Chain A
Amino acid sequence: MNKERFKVPDLDEQTIRIQIDKIVSVGVKPKQSFPSYLKSMMQQVGLRHIFSDRLEITFITLLVTMMIGLMVLLPYYSEIHDMYGYIFLLSPILFLVLSIFTYVRKTQNHTYDVEMACKYNVYQIIAFRMLVFSVFSIVLNMIAVAILAIQYDEIQFMRAFLLSITALFLFSILLLFALMKRRTTVIVVSTVIGWTLGNLVLQSMNVNLYNDLLMKTPIVVNAVVLLVIVITYVWYLKKLLQFKQREGVFE
């Protein structure tokens, strides 16, 4: 029997390099950056479908009205020096309620299986919405803090604004961390209750360190802390976008 002999042609360095590049470009999927991923998701899915839920839109409108009302009414019922504490406590509330509402609706809905098998799955939509909600919350918090600062001279706008955004992102990280570790509604709800109770207890006990942190930390330090927190938030959000269902169906 004649054995077939393969003749390997002698290739020059340049041809080898060109062929390697060609193989790699075909075989290896280029890693998409976070902003370009968000952009292509936005283009392909579109805001209309990311926020397709009419009930959610009604809910958002209701919440925004309540939040602004609360911010305007709050100084009548509390001391001005407690205001920073309330800003820190309440700033993430809007974001939190919107995110949890989205999360529970999406993961508990009977459409979960169908949507999970799509190119952009439930968790990617949730992460995208959270990002939009955080931007939305920043704008709204800024307006609320500005209203307070205009009404009361004792409240410094920059300090109150930084506190409000720090609280927002700090809480977002806690929520994302809870989502990553164990994706159960109990964990998410516990995070919310933990945040609210923790802050209320610290505030009502008049803990010096807590008050000093809120009222006396230099604004530059606040800004640096905020920067670190925002970077951590984006990192966690990227992880949620790349989330893969490893453990099993939602419990």
Chain B
Amino acid sequence: MIVVKDVSKQYGDFTALQNVDLEFGNGLYGLLAPNGAGKTTLIKMLATLISPTKGEIFYNGKNINDMDDQYRERLGYLPQQFGYYKNYSPKQYLLYLAALKGIGKKEALNKIDELLEKVALSDVVNKKMKKFSGGMIQRVGIAQALLNDPEILILDEPTAGLDPKERARFRHLLTDLARDRLVIISTHIVSDIESIANEIIMIRNKQLLYKDSVADICATLNGCVFETTIDYGQLEDFRKNNILLSEKQEYGQMTVRFIHKGNSEDEWTSVPPQLEDVFLYEYRDELEGEN
């Protein structure tokens, strides 16, 4: 079990995270927040790439930095930018990383074949990676994170560059893996984790906003999410009075999904809130800033 205890991280005057407390048991956790919210900082601290300025992170009661290689032996990590050697084949690169992870060559060779099969790269095992697409590189990254059969698997934006079919395969793989280990996925794509995460963690203003199941997080907007159809001309006024989540043009009219707290109107249809709705609602300022 990982316990994040009162952790803050500062880079000079800039605070990236502030007083974060978290607990992770076995299962799949989705770390969901827009870009720049501090996801990667938290992930890097969990991967021991950086240390907290304040607070501590424990694995089974021991500080992960003090555990040193004993912790890293149990860790599988895919960084946001997965680096590789262009002239290496996936097999060569995985053999190299297996050696750094302290895995014997014979054991590594068997594991590499099995993993490359899992990520559907069996037919390019010996091809140089410089010819690979972004999705293929990402799949090599996923395979390397699993090399040491880690107890803790941390993946930072793992679905970047994957096509819908690959994403679906990846979700199956993760659900399988999370049965007997701790998997943490950082993403800003709600659909990546909505259906598979046991718990969602949201960070806002450098602090923990939610750590709960999808159902419980969605319940925070119960009775506040509606859909209705309006004329295109009404859209600007509608935007001013409600928080628009999505808009879709149909037969010359607009179907809008929105949040309204207070009395509703008869022509509005109340709909069950989705995780995407909570995400768009909670991060509306940050997302507007991005746009």
In the bound complex, residues from chain A placing their C-beta under 8 Å from that of B70 are 29
Looking at the complex, which of A105-113, A208-216, A227-235 is the stretch in contact with chain B?
A105-113
Pick the most buried of B81, B102, B141: most chain A CB atoms within 10 A of its CB: B102
One digit per residue, 1 when the CB lies within 8 angstroms of any chain B CB and 0 when it does not, for chain A 116-127 equals 111111000100
Do B97 and A118 touch (CB < 8 A)? Answer: yes
Interface of A is mostly: loop
Is there an interface contact between A114 and B144, defined as CB atoms closer than 8 Å?
Answer: yes
Given A114-B77, A242-B68, check contact A119 B100 (CB 8 Å). Answer: yes
- CB within 8 Å of A: which of B76-92? 77-79, 81-85, 87
**Candidates A48, A109, A245, A248; contact of B83 at CB < 8 Å:** A109
Name the interface size band of chain B.
35 or more
Is the pair A117, B75 in contact by a Cβ cutoff of 8 Å? yes
B218 to chain A, nearest CB (A): 33
Q: How far is the CB of A112 from chain B (nearest CB, A)?
A: 7
Question: Which residues of A from 15 to 29 have beta carbons under 8 Å from B?
Answer: 29
List CB contacts (< 8 Å) of A87-119 with chain B.
Answer: 109-119
Is the CB of A249 closer than 8 A to any CB of chain B? yes
Q: Is B251 an interface residue (CB 8 A)?
A: no
**B100 in contact with A45 (CB, 8 Å):** yes
B47 within 8 A of A: yes
Q: Complex: how many Å from CA A242 to CA B70?
A: 12
Q: A248 contacts which chain B residues (CB < 8 A)?
A: 11, 50-51
A114 near B79 (CB under 8 angstroms)?
Answer: yes
Q: Which residues from A are CB-within-8-Å of B99?
A: 44-46, 48-49
Decide if A246 touches B49 in the complex (CB within 8 Å): no
Q: Contact between B48 and A49 (Cβ–Cβ < 8 Å)? A: no
- A119 in contact with B79 (CB, 8 Å): no
Q: How far is the CA of A114 from the CA of B154 in the complex (A)?
A: 12
Give Cα distance in the complex from A75 to B48, angstroms: 52
Are A245's CB and B69's CB within 8 A? no
CA distance A9 to B73 in the complex (A): 39
A246-B69 contact given A45-B100, A109-B83, A119-B102, CB 8 Å threshold: no
**Chain A: which residue is nearest B148 at the CB level?**
A119
For residue B108, give the distance in angstroms from its CB to the closest CB of chain A. Answer: 11
Chain A neighbourhood of B87, CB < 8 A = 54
**Chain A residue contacts of B181, Cβ below 8 A:** none
* B153 → chain A closest CB, angstroms: 11
Residues of B within 8 A of A119 (CB): 69, 72-73, 100-102, 148
Docked-complex contact A245 and B50, CB < 8 angstroms: yes
Which A residues are CB-close (under 8 A) to B85?
111
> For this complex, into which size category does the number of interface residues on chain A fall?
20 to 34
In the complex, whether A3 has a CB less than 8 A from a CB of chain B is: no
A48 CA to B108 CA in the complex, in Å? 15
Q: Are B69 and A111 interface neighbours, CB within 8 A?
A: no
Q: How far is the CA of A249 from the CA of B85 in the complex (A)?
A: 21
Q: List CB contacts (< 8 Å) of A52-94 with chain B.
A: 52, 54
Is A31 an interface position by the 8 A CB rule? no
Q: Which residue of B lies closest to A115 (CB)?
A: B100
Query: Are the C-beta atoms of A117 and B81 separated by less than 8 Å?
Result: no
Q: In angstroms, how far is the closest chain A Cβ from the Cβ of B290?
A: 24
Known contacts A120-B100, A121-B72: does B51 contact A247 (CB below 8 Å)? yes
Interface residues of B (CB under 8 A from A): 11, 44, 47-51, 65, 68-70, 72-73, 75, 77-79, 81-85, 87, 95-97, 99-105, 141, 144, 148
Closest 5 CB pairs of A and B: A110-B83, A111-B83, A118-B100, A113-B79, A117-B77
A-B contact pairs, 14 of them (CB 8 A): A49-B95, A54-B87, A113-B49, A113-B79, A114-B78, A114-B141, A116-B48, A117-B48, A117-B72, A117-B79, A118-B100, A119-B69, A119-B73, A248-B11
